[in-house]
Every structure is written in structure tokens, then in C-alpha cells.
Amino acid sequence: MRILVVYATTDGQTRKIARFAADHLTDLGHATELLNAADTEGLDLGRFGAAVLAGSLHAGGFQKTLAAFAKDNAAALNAKPTLFLPVSLSAAGNDEEDWKGLRACVDGFLDQTGWQPTRTAHVAGAFRFTEYDFFRAWAMRRIAEAKQQVVDPHSDKEYTDWPALAAALTAWQAACIA
């Protein structure tokens, strides 16, 4: 099957996750096309039998380009198997309040866009200090401290569980498109 993988990223971790998803689905025997949500104008979704959308959560919202893509294509997306990969640091932890907020943000995004994915698989993101400006690095260090995370402000710290992501992709394709 031909699968579209669309992503929006702020610091690059979601792009890495989307590329992993495309590669993994290709390894499972599917043809994939990986596109940044900003580059989807005029895209014919009819060429694809399924789609994966990935976006990262920052300050309570997902990237505008991903929201616009999902909203503009909600009917076509709702008519085929889809997987949503919301990427966040909250997904790395077990704090119930963080998860409650994460679920509320995802629900708000889906309500706003009208898209109802077949499945959702939360993916832990990363601290990407090498990508941050001074003020963002400062804010992210404060967030890490509040969560008792030890970080080096001169290097990145990845929380993405790659085997769990592979398992989620395999389970989705087996249940929804195989």
C-alpha cells in the first residue's frame, strides 16, 4: 500500500520520528512518501491508501501547518486508515496531570481540524538544546528542572522510545491496512 507520512516539526525531533515511521513502514513492504506539512499544497490524497501525521506539541498546541493540513483534508483523511503521532516531552513521563493535559491538547486539535485518526500513538520527544536559542534553552532547562530531569544544556537528550514506536507502527499497519 502507498502511505503518506506528513509531519510538522519545531526543533527537528518530529522530523526524525516521521522519517523513522516512513522507513519502518517501507521495511514492512509499503511504499511511503514523507512530506513536511508546509510542502503539501496541491497534494492529491487519493494517491494514498493510508496516512500518518506527526506533529509536536509546544505551549499547548501543534504546528499551524499540520493543523491546516488536517483541517483542509479531514474528509479525505477520515475516509482512510490514519495514524496520529503526537510528539511531546509529557509522553516521556508518568505524571497523570501531564497526561491529562496532553490528551486535552490532542482532543482540541482533533476537534479543531475535524480529523478523527484511526489510531493515536503518543511519542516522547527530546530536549534539543543544540537547536534552541538562548531564551528557549533557558526555558527548557527550567522545565527539565521542574520534572527532576538532569540535562546538559550543551547537548540534546532524546526520550523517544524507538522500539515502542516501531511496535505501534507495526500494530497499526497490521490492524488497519494489512
Per-residue pLDDT tens for 87-122? 987 777 787 888 898 899 999 999 999 999 999 999
Per-residue pLDDT tens for 13-41? 999 999 999 999 999 999 999 999 999 99
**What pLDDT shows up at residue 11?**
82
β-bridge pairing 126-127 and 157-158:
antiparallel
Q: Is 174 exposed, middle or buried (0-12, 13-18, 19+ CB in 10 A)?
A: exposed
| Annotated domain spans of the chain | 2-125+160-176
Is this structure's pTM higher than 0.85?
A: yes
**What pLDDT shows up at residue 137?**
63
Give me 148's grid cell.
Answer: 527532576
Domain covering 2-125+160-176 in this structure, CATH number:
3.40.50.360
